[in-house]
Structure 1
Amino acid sequence: MRRTPLLAAVTALLLGGLLAQPAAEAAPTTFTHPGVTVSRSQLDFARTQVLAGAQPWKGAFDQMMASRYADQNRVPRPRAIVECGSYSNPNNGCTDEREDAMAAYTNALAWYITRDSRYAQKAIQLMDAWSAVIQDHTNSNAPLQTGWAGSSWPRAAEIIKHTYPGGWPNAGRFATMLRDVYLPEIINGSNSNGNWELSMMEAAIGISVHLEDKASYDKAMAKFRTRTAAYVYLASDGELPKTVPSQNLDTRDKIVRYWQGQSTFVTGLTQETCRDFTHTGYGISALSHVAETSRIQGQDLYGTDVGERLRHALGFHAKYELGATVPGWLCGGSVRRGLGPVTEVGYNALHHRLGHPMTNTEALTRQQRPAGSNNLFVAWETLTHGDNPN
């Protein structure tokens, strides 16, 4: 049957609309625990390697244990109201919250690898201190702050609740904190720079796993898929990057402004590349953490456009982070490096599991080992994910 021009146009419009909407991943029928960013089998592999003295895992473990986050004399500093303005100014509890959450995760990892109950008890002390006090996050950076701290807390809680036999009497109160204080602040997303919403959805998905909250998992995952498609450009997207509908970026000029003035779009470029690599690294890291959590929960996003976008974003930025000359069409010929310790999770999944070469990402990953912490929400990923077959 010959298609009329009108029919062809309608068909193209419908197909375009369908292709523009990323497929939603439904919550698993049964959640896997521990299952936020790192699984039990990954933890077992890391523990075996550390106890055998194998590298790079032993060096990564030693680095973690020498950090301030593993300090057994650490005193929690909870607040009822955490107030964080732009760039954490004012900083009323912002650093304390993030670092106590990071310390809880660090001690949870230390517990699992050493089986020394002192570390589990320190993680519990930190989580209990905050769950007894915190009521709200305020000021302009509240959603981002909640996302950062809310990414680390469920990682720690998952390990302690599901592997520590000594018990955690206040686990229910901690879950209530995540449900009532953290989740409402992040679940509806953000129209700021893309790293905000990606970090917020990482936290929302991790919290949803811990709470076994299927509705919140589904809502956060749908927002994550839409934002990921709008954050990392692929040539297959067309002339212009995809957008988040609520942002009303309906002209080329608006899109270029939102992409930090970048008007040439190439595969692997992100919405914040020309802002700086540090914020881009936040987005890439959150993207990889969600993909890893989803895989643990039985739905492998690495084989979807999420994996393609992550792979190309890692390779594109690794090239310039390693010192390649920046062409004039990219960010006016100058970039602000500082990607951070964010490559291990994505590199391990995409290179070791799926077999992609990833030459630049591999070089950067090995150069940065052992990957430490960015002091926000990324920590110890050479230990947990470096060359990990699980």
Structure 2
Amino acid sequence: MLLGTACGTDADAPAAVEQPRSVAPDTFRHPGVLVGGAQLAAVRRRVAAGEEPWASAYRAMGDSPYADLDYTPHPARIVACASNAGTQACVSEREDAIAAYTHALMWSISGRAAHAEKAVEIMDAWSKTVKEHTRDDADLQTAWSGSSWARAAEIVHAGYPAWGGPEVQRFKWMLRKAYLPAVSAEVADYNGNWELAMTDAAIGMAVFLEDRTVFEESVRRFRARVPAYFYLSSDGALPKPPPGGTIDTADELATYWFGQRTYADGIGQETCRNFMHIGYSLAATAHIAETAWHQGLDLYREEAERIRAALEFHARYQLGETAPKWLCGGKVERTMGPDVEVALNHLEGRMGMKLPQTAKLAASQRPGGTDDLFVAWETLTHASNPTPA
């Protein structure tokens, strides 16, 4: 939209000033947090027909403890998560959120109302109880748990009318008061997987809450952090500094990148830390873009080459290729989880890009399960499932 457009022939009239374009949808689409309704319908058809890898992925999900109809939630009033030393409440919260999402998927695919009821039971137990997250890892804890809560709530609320009224409003209040403040915190100089996971949770909650302001802030953070986390040679000789932070010299960036001083297309800020955290960041990046895509905003296309390069770079070393000496001193920690299905599905299935190493890695991990943090059942939901929104 243009404001202040000059009229007539007045040479002194102000030039047109382009205002920031709104990126939030006028109307939110539901279900539309990570998984869309058309995708869920495609999964139902494939599972019913016994097609692979979806049938095996569905069986694996159904055999997991998260899908047990006797699953018991363990809500806590205060979730205190210190760095590397959280309380049992930290583990219980993450597991309960994944269980709620698992039962939501089980209900959507099988049609068994008992699974929807169990998802509601878990979500209601936490919304009645939790008030606060504290200690060092509060922002990351709320990111991991909040992303799963939003996915579960979105699927159930979109199609299970028995969950409504005050229970849904209480759950929305829980997200606003006990989760959104933490995932909106400023963590500029932290390792980038924090802000990407936090943004993943925030955009999911934004869709469920139909909050255009939170959605737009999530998009802003994605656009700032992804280019600062995954390098492309077009960025220049050095990676982009973390947005809003204090790290900007060559030496500071090398320290922040865990000693790495040679930068190649696709390398990430935590590559030389371990591939586990790279996997978290690849997954979160794809989750954010996928949720935005279901809401009519194509963030994938903005960073398609960067995401493709990052996937292919790490996939080949995760698959066993020897790391050269310039990369992390020749030693990489191959600990990536089931983190590539969502991005692979879009770049290869919707955009027609070629990602041979990533496709090989995804096939070797199928059926992908869960990392017990915030990635769950993505072979089932996204493997070769480019169904349009």
Fold conserved (TM > 0.5)? yes
Q: Report Cα offsets for 1:228-283 as digits up to 9, x if no partner.
A: 11000011101111123421112100001000110000100000000000011111
Q: Which runs of 5+ in 2 are unaligned?
A: 1-19
Equivalent runs, 1:64-103 vs 2, <5 Å? 64-87=61-84, 89-103=85-99
Aligned equivalent of 2:199: 201
Deviation at 1:25, TM superposition (A): 6.5
**Is the CA contact (8 Å cut-off) linking 2:318 and 2:334 kept in structure 1?**
yes
* Secondary structure of the corresponding residue to residue 141 of structure 2: helix
Q: Does 2:364 match 1:367?
A: yes
Cα 1:268–1:137 change in 2 (3 A) is same
Task: Name the one with the larger helix percent.
Answer: 1
Matched, 1:262 2:260: yes
CA distance in structure 2 between the aligned counterparts of 1:262 and 1:37, rounded to whole angstroms: 33
CA distance in 2, matches of 1:301, 1:324: 30
Question: Structure 1 stretches of 5 or more lacking a match?
Answer: 1-22
2:324 alignment partner in structure 1: 327
Residue equivalent to 1:231: 229
Asked if structure 2 preserves the Cα contact closer than 8 Å seen for 1:189 and 1:223, the reply is no
Structure 1 residue identity aligned to 2:359: E
1:11 equivalent in structure 2 = none
CA-to-partner distance for each residue in 1:159-199, whole Å, 9 max, x for gaps? 00001133334111001100111001111341310000000
Q: Deviations over 1:195-216 (max 9, x none)?
A: 0000001001101111111111
1:22-37 to 2 correspondence within 5 Å? 26-37=23-34
Give the alignment partner of residue 137 of structure 2, picking from 141, 146, 160: 141
Which letter maps to 1:32? R
Deviations along 1:353-380, one digit per CA (max 9) or x if unpaired, are 1111101001001111111100100000
**In structure 2, what is the equivalent of residue 298 of structure 1?**
296
**Identity of matched residues, %:** 49
Amino acid at match of 2:112: D
Query: Is residue 341 from structure 1 mapped to residue 341 from structure 2 by the alignment?
Result: no
Per the alignment, residue 39 of structure 2 pairs with 42
Q: Which amino acid aligns with 1:119?
A: H
CA deviation profile, 1:280-316 (whole Å, cap 9, x unmatched): 11111000000100100001112112x2222111110
Match of 2:286 among 280, 285, 288: 288
- The residue number in structure 2 matching 1:8 is none
Hey, what does 2:160 align to over in structure 1?
Answer: 164
Q: 2:52 matched to 1:55?
A: yes
Runs in 1 of length 4+ with deviation above 2 angstroms?
Answer: 165-169
Structure 1, residues 27-50: CA drift from partner, whole Å, max 9, x if none?
111111111000000000001100
